[in-house]
Amino acid sequence: MAAGLSEPSQEKARIARGSGAFFTGSALAQAAGIARNLLVAGLLSPSQLGIWNVMVMIVGYGKYGDLGLTYGMNKWVPLLRSRGEEQRLRVVRDTTFWATIGIGCVECLLLIGLSRFLPAQYSTALAVAAVILVVQYVYFYLYLLLRADKRFGLLSFGITALSVLALCLTPPAILLSQDRMLGALVGWLVAYLLTTVYLLWRSGYRFAWGLNVPDIRQAVGYGAPLVVAALLGSVMLTVDRWVVAATLSAEQLGYYALGIMVSTGLALIPGSVANVLYPHMLERYGATGDYTAARGLVLTSMQALAAIMVVIEGAVVLAMPLLVRYVLPQYLPSILLTQILVCGSFFLAVASVPSNYLVSIDRQNSVVIWSIVTIAVAAAVDLLMVRLGYGVMGVAVGTAFAYLFHGVGLILYALWFALGRSSRVVWELLRVSVPWVLMVALAVGLTLFLTSGTTFGSCLLWTGVRLLLLGAGMLPVLWVTNRQTSLLTYVRSTLGGRA
């Protein structure tokens, strides 16, 4: 880095490089993850896919069982480093590592015990998921430690490696297994094991044995509010699947699972940028105590991500009929509900930056409260849709509404602080909303008024025409966004890792 760069420019360069590494890794991981999910969906029956999806949710929930220990480490380590307390840092790192493994083993044994009381189709699957949970605890600890140390290059590689290994190992494991759903879980477990071992070796981290109870308590104190927020976020993202599982058939859960796989997979892109921005926003607020100190990071990132996401989501919506019809024909009922969920996930995706900003200024309790409100709204609307007879399609509509409700609420609240309680809040919300409104209008119009074709060739041709018209229709919005936020420069810096 050039010696003449100012401190803000140096920070911008660090953010660009970190975002570039994390964005690239997340994009590759997303592509591999979507490919893996499509292959799993094609190799499993809808009912097997429904059970697989439940196991994925259980593993996802499991990492919150440490009551915030790892999240507390993630916040405490940078704080100790800023004070020059390196020896104390190593003690905290070591004791939280071994405590995390201990907690994971206890959870594993509890789940294996529980599995003995479940029906056969769930019992063995839950036992395998319990083993995955232990390995995931170690992986997630390393993930947060690398993020706290701003080692985004290795972190990016680990994220990519996990998804690519899962893509390469899961389908063969399914085909070689007598129980295909169990084969999918075993393939996932091996991918986790290989990635975790590599990160332990490549990072150079060595953890001396030790359990300091006061340090464990303090780490939990730091992390408990954060893990509550994260756990509620997971509940919010899965309440729709619990409603489907409880009220509809396993087959319908499988149809719905495909839509969720696609819509949540797209959130990796803004999530990767938010992860890199988080420590920088935390440092800015910590240094000044000023809510507006990170205003530029919040506004620029949010507006640029909005423009990027509408293009990606619009393309996915228009390509879904071709993809499902000729790659996953058994999931034809999933087409429309997937399109609804993808459109509805826009504000949830863009809100990842405002959400991290609110945590960085110690407003995580507000995020928790809003998540609880959203969970109640989502459950009520989804159950109402089922009661009214709209089935899984109604749940998709209710979930899309809940995504919009949650995302807009977080964006408005974050803007209120970032802009210093300015009346510009509504204007800034409109700047990220207009591209989405245009994308939805174009996608609906192109779907209704342009034929989709009757053969593979004609379907491919008309899908291409739709995508070109979508791009042409979005150009004015993208041009205006670029004028306001230097979108192209932001994308080049992020993808290329240059300031």
In the block, tokens 């802009």 appear at 419
* Dihedral-angle region of residue 68 (phi above 0 means left; psi in -120 to 50 means alpha; beta otherwise): left
| Mean pLDDT (whole number) for 394-412 | 93
Q: For residue 498, is pLDDT > 60?
A: no
Residue spans of the domains in the chain: they are 7-496
Rounded (5°) CA angle 255-256-259: 100
Confidence bin at 142 (pLDDT 50/70/90): very high
Structure confidence at residue 432 (pLDDT): 87
Least confident of 12-26, 177-191, 252-266: 12-26
Least confident of 4-13, 210-219, 226-235: 4-13
DSSP string computed for 218-273: HHHHHHHHHHHHHHHHHHHHHHHHHHHHHHS-HHHHHHHHHHHHHHHHHTHHHHHH
Alpha-carbon gap, residue 287 to 358, rounded angstroms: 16
Cβ(163)–Cβ(40) under 8 Å? no
For the chain, the average pLDDT equals 83
> pLDDT tens digits, residue range 329-381?
888 888 899 999 999 889 988 888 898 888 878 788 888 899 999 999 999 99
| Mean pLDDT (whole number) for 117-134 | 85
Confidence bin at 169 (pLDDT 50/70/90): very high
Q: Which residues contact 363 (CB under 8 A, 6 or more apart)?
A: 413, 417
Q: Which residues contact 92 (CB under 8 A, 6 or more apart)?
A: 73, 76, 77, 80, 215, 219
> pLDDT tens digits, residue range 484-493?
655 555 555 5
Structure confidence at residue 277 (pLDDT): 74
Run of H or E residues at 394? helix 391-418
| Mean pLDDT (whole number) for 316-321 | 90
Q: For residue 257, is pLDDT > 60?
A: yes
Q: For residue 76, is pLDDT > 50?
A: yes
Side chain identity at 78, as an amino acid letter? P
Structure confidence at residue 248 (pLDDT): 84
Structure confidence at residue 186 (pLDDT): 92
Alpha-carbon gap, residue 343 to 317, rounded angstroms: 8
> pLDDT tens digits, residue range 296-313?
778 877 887 888 889 889
Structure confidence at residue 490 (pLDDT): 53
Structure confidence at residue 485 (pLDDT): 59
Structure confidence at residue 161 (pLDDT): 92
Confidence bin at 1 (pLDDT 50/70/90): very low
Pairwise pLDDT comparison (219 vs 81), residue with the higher score: 219
Q: For residue 6, is pLDDT > 60?
A: no
| Mean pLDDT (whole number) for 220-242 | 83
CA nearest 357: which of 430, 427, 425, 296?
296
Pairwise pLDDT comparison (348 vs 422), residue with the higher score: 348
Query: In this prediction, what percent of the chain has a pLDDT beyond 70?
Result: 89
Q: Which residues contact 54 (CB under 8 A, 6 or more apart)?
A: 122, 241, 245
